[in-house]
Structure 1
Amino acid sequence: MLDQLRSMGVFACVVEKSSFSGAARDLGITTSAVSQQIRSLEQEMEVTLLHRSTRRLSLTEAGQAFFHSCQEMLAAAERGKIRINELRDDLVGDLRIATTPELGATHLVPALSHWISAHRGLTVHFEAENQFIDLIQERIDIAIRMCSKVEESNNLSYIPLARVDQVLVASPSYLNQNSPISRPEDLLSHDLIPINIMKNPQSFTFEHSGTGEAVNLEMKHRLQTNNVIVAKSLCQNGHGIARILYLDVQKELMNGTLVEVLPEWKLPTFTLNAMTLKREQQPMKIHRCLDALKQYFVQLPGGRIFQEAS
């Protein structure tokens, strides 16, 4: 098929230049190679395309019809080339972004809102799922995920956006009505609200920020959920203590509906990553979207529980 398309291009050039030698100069090949391409076309289609004479070339009836088809093919190929260049270099076409519902609503939409409004040629799809989405199968351009560690991949590139702490939170009323908590071991007499999309949600590894002392323990639980929003609601209604990523609970900590438990004891830190497929050339829309995300996360309020990733 590719050989035939190439021959069609040679034929169209011969007609436009009105000579084999002119087409050869334009295409950068020999005159005999041009002649061979035309002969191959005529033999394959079992028709004569050109009347040849020592003075000039002229199209047969079949050649005239075929020339129009060749022109249409070349025009379509040029349109396709232009479209590919637009998709590679311009902010147009589809952009598919995968993330969790909480990150999408709380951070990605605010991060990209002005950028999306400024680029009307983009059609943006937000795929919000707690489960990991296959970037190739679902044609995802950028996936935003929290990772405790990055695994080497031949297919994926990881762009760190921020380091985010895990925090223990509870409502003021719950803390006032239950036994005091001054050390991690005190948690054993309290109720955990685990978010079961986390790995080992009932297991904890603490490190004291001042002394470096480490404590490992497992908390009991009666209630559990797979959703951060539900976990926050259960906490706010006084049902226990939840371990939540700081980004997901920042607003509640600021307005006082939830408070941090054991702030001097640190839990392992997560990295918020943007994941993309490895390509020799990333489309410009992906580069620009990543720039907008980096700019947003860099400007979030600082402090010990939020730092820009290096």
Structure 2
Amino acid sequence: MANWEGINEFVAVVETESFTAASKRLGISTAQVSRQISTLEQRLATKLFYRTTRRVTVTDAGQLFYQHTRPLLDGVEEAESALNSLQSNPRGKLKLTAPVAFGEQHITPVISQYCLEYPDLNVEMMLTNLQVDLVDEGVDLAIRLGQLADSNMMAKRLGSRTLHLCAAPSYLERSGEPHSLSELANHNCLLGTLDYWRFNNNNRTTQLKVSGSLRCNSGQALLDMALAGVGLVQLPSNYVSQPLQTGELVELMTQFRPPEEGIWALYPHNRQLSPKVSLLIDRLKQALSEP
């Protein structure tokens, strides 16, 4: 087994281009990663990396070594996955990430039931609106909304959601109801992180720049402001479905409602999809496709 020592650390450094990122991925210290790489280089009598204070670059010899060792690790992972698939209960560590509000409302209930059903599973859930690097952070599964930009990730569609333009009756009584896209310039539009809203105009998706007295990166905060009658808001269905049903909000200009956007499960393309992740994806798809 001595010949195997340092291989995990070596592959992690190559793929993350960082000793620090590799240590986070493997759950060990940066010093331990450095020691294992140094020992491996001594054993091979070959320099595997060029190190500077700013970056780590793999040498030609290191690239050749990586091309042979990466398939070996893939084989071990596939072998472990094959053994795990023989077990009826998911177990071990499972790390996932999801947007904050959507994760709290829709992902957490599924995870709670999953943990109750499989007590040997150790779940780490990161709720953040930042785009986490799945490889660097060692994340098994990410839930993403809308259009996908990660071309190096595998994606499975879990469901869809719709954007709705809404306002409280109190705002409409005070400011009137818009009936065309051009009329939005005369209204107080509550903005999120983007300075435009999406609409379907003549069967084409249009991005319309809007403005108002409030900008906030929290969908829940925007919803609260809209319910208070501060202005118009465009939010996904998971925020506004209930207030639309109760009449606390009124949907506007439904003829311009944009197409549905996807809810996606993402995972690294070079990572074997384990049964515990595959089963969770199935559970999430079932939950998110229900009306």
TM-score for both structures, normalised by structure 2:
0.67
Match of 2:212 in 1: 221
1:10-58: CA deviations, max 9, x gaps?
A: xxxxxxxxxxxxxxxxxxxxxxxxxxxxxxxxxxxxxxxxxxxxxxxxx
Count of aligned positions: 217
Q: Is it true that 1:187 corresponds to 2:210 in the alignment?
A: no
1:143-179: CA deviations, max 9, x gaps?
A: 10112245522xx111111122211121121112112
Match of 2:228 in 1: 237
With over 3 angstroms needed to count, the CA separation of the structure-2 counterparts of 1:88 and 1:141, relative to structure 1, is farther
How far off its partner does 1:136 sit? 1.6
1:212-243: CA deviations, max 9, x gaps?
A: 48766422212110111111111111111111
Measure the CA separation in 2 of the matches of 1:291 and 1:84.
Answer: 19
**Aligned to 1:283, which of 271, 274, 280?**
274
With over 3 angstroms needed to count, the CA separation of the structure-2 counterparts of 1:221 and 1:3, relative to structure 1, is closer
Please, what is the CA RMSD of the aligned residues?
2.8
Which 5+ residue runs of structure 2 have no aligned equivalent? Answer: 6-78
**Aligned to 2:164, which of 146, 160, 167?**
167
Identity score, percent: 22
TM-score for both structures, normalised by structure 1:
0.63
Match of 1:148 in 2: 147
**Where do 4+ consecutive residues of structure 1 move more than 3 Å?**
1-5, 81-90, 211-217
Note if contact 1:149-1:270 (Cα within 8 Å) is conserved in structure 2.
no
How far off its partner does 1:100 sit? 1.1
Measure the CA separation in 2 of the matches of 1:213 and 1:141.
Answer: 35
Measure the CA separation in 2 of the matches of 1:264 and 1:4.
Answer: 62
Within 5 Å, give how 1:19-168 maps onto structure 2. Answer: 85-86=83-84, 90-153=89-152, 156-168=153-165
Note if contact 2:188-2:213 (Cα within 8 Å) is conserved in structure 1.
yes
With over 3 angstroms needed to count, the CA separation of the structure-2 counterparts of 1:128 and 1:4, relative to structure 1, is closer
Look up the SS of the partner of 1:91 in the other structure.
Answer: coil
With over 3 angstroms needed to count, the CA separation of the structure-2 counterparts of 1:124 and 1:179, relative to structure 1, is same
Which 5+ residue runs of structure 1 have no aligned equivalent? Answer: 6-80, 302-310
Q: Name the aligned partner's letter for residue 199 of structure 2.
A: F
Look up the SS of the partner of 2:213 in the other structure.
Answer: coil
Please tell me whether Structure 1 or Structure 2 has the larger radius of gyration of its CA atoms: 1
How far off its partner does 1:91 sit? 0.7
